[in-house]
Copies of this chain bind each other. A is one copy, B any other.
Amino acid sequence: MMSKNNPGNYFEDFRLGQVLRHATPRTITAGDVALYTGLYGPRFAVQSSAEFASAIGFRGAPVDDLLVFHMVFGKTVPDVSLNAVANLGYAGGVFGAPVYTGDTVSTVSRVIGLKQNSNGKTGVVYVNSVGCNQHGEMVVDYNRWVMVRKNNPDAPAPDAIVPDLPATVDATSFRVPVGLDLTDYDGELAGSPHYWDDYAIGEKIDHVDGMTIEEAEHQIATRLYQNTAKVHFDQIAANQGRFGKRLIYGGHVMSLARALSFNGLGNAFKIVAINGGSHANPAFAGDTVFAWSEIIDKISLAGRDDVGALRVRLVAMRNHGATDFSLRDEAGKYDSAVLLDFDHTVLIPKRSLSVK
């Protein structure tokens, strides 16, 4: 009788165009949101206060965009990356309908590219993953590529197809929440005096604060997302591994950095796009995470004078304050203290509106 546990897919198991309908659908609740707050400490007023959110057109406090992202990402792990060597990157991510507590999110992925590595032992799998709510509305849609082991090195290489992924998400793809109206946006209550108008392209912001990560924290987070990647949980296996430690889910660092970014980007209340992202170095329990941002672009939104978008590079550092805005060395290699280089686009109120 064949073993009934899930072996995951190996590189040779993927087919171009293959559709993976992932288990487990997930109803997101006020409990998940509270745990997310406890794990990262985000302070964006829209996600924190139902009253604040309602005043600007949401029907309640929406669920943090990255919590939605992690819930969807977690579901792809058993089918896409159980046998992965590395999570290589993200591109072309957009957030759709706001998620409210009580919504149930389901995830489907499609294989959009395959390329065997020259060593014949691994290959890169490109997937487009889409999370939808119970009404079938898209809540997040993104592409990622991962390096996956082959089970049988002799399995033939597929035709190499590398998808043409966008370097940045175009403004026409941003989904501004239906009904959003920032006329009554209260920057004082939101905790920041800085609006779209106040940021300059090229400006760098030190988010100052540091957060030391504990094993219990990242394990609780990663289980909450029902992400089953073995490297995060099993110290016995880690003892045999390259680092001797449990690896922290990259999304955990992403959420920590996003929460830290409040201190300087407190009005950036919603992520609309993930242009790209790299986990530059692995993070471990005991690491202290700092973050800085660079404003890459300022984007006006057609027909809106109340809200604009900022394209932001958010960088997470390990055990090293963000005051010197370290990123890469002269050869272009990431500084060893860099954990995450996250290129995303956020919505933020315009001053024109706020000062009238």
Contacts and interface: CB of A to CB of B under 8 A. Distances in A.
Interface of A: 1, 3-6, 21-27, 29-35, 37-41, 43-45, 48-52, 61, 78, 101-102, 104, 106, 134, 188-192, 194, 198-200, 203, 205-212, 214-217, 219-224, 226, 228, 230, 233-237, 246, 263-266, 286, 288, 319-321
Contacts of A265: 4
A209 B233 contact: yes
Contacts of A286: 235
Contact of A33 (B24, B31, B319): B31
Identical subunits present: 3
Contact of A3 (B104, B206, B320): B206
Nearest to A218: B216
Given A34-B32, A43-B228, A188 B104 contact: no
B224 A191 contact: no
Contacts of A200: 1
A191 B25 CA distance: 10
21 contacts: A4-B194, A6-B266, A23-B43, A29-B31, A30-B101, A31-B31, A31-B32, A34-B35, A37-B226, A38-B224, A41-B228, A43-B226, A50-B102, A106-B189, A210-B234, A210-B236, A210-B237, A212-B234, A212-B246, A228-B263, A236-B320
Contact of A24 (B134, B190, B206, B211): B190
Nearest to A4: B264
A234 B209 contact: yes
Nearest to A230: B209
A5 B264 CA distance: 4
Task: Identify which of A4, A198, A228, A288 gathers the most chain B CB atoms within 10 Å of its CB.
Answer: A4
B234 A211 contact: yes
Contact of A40 (B35, B37, B206, B223): B223
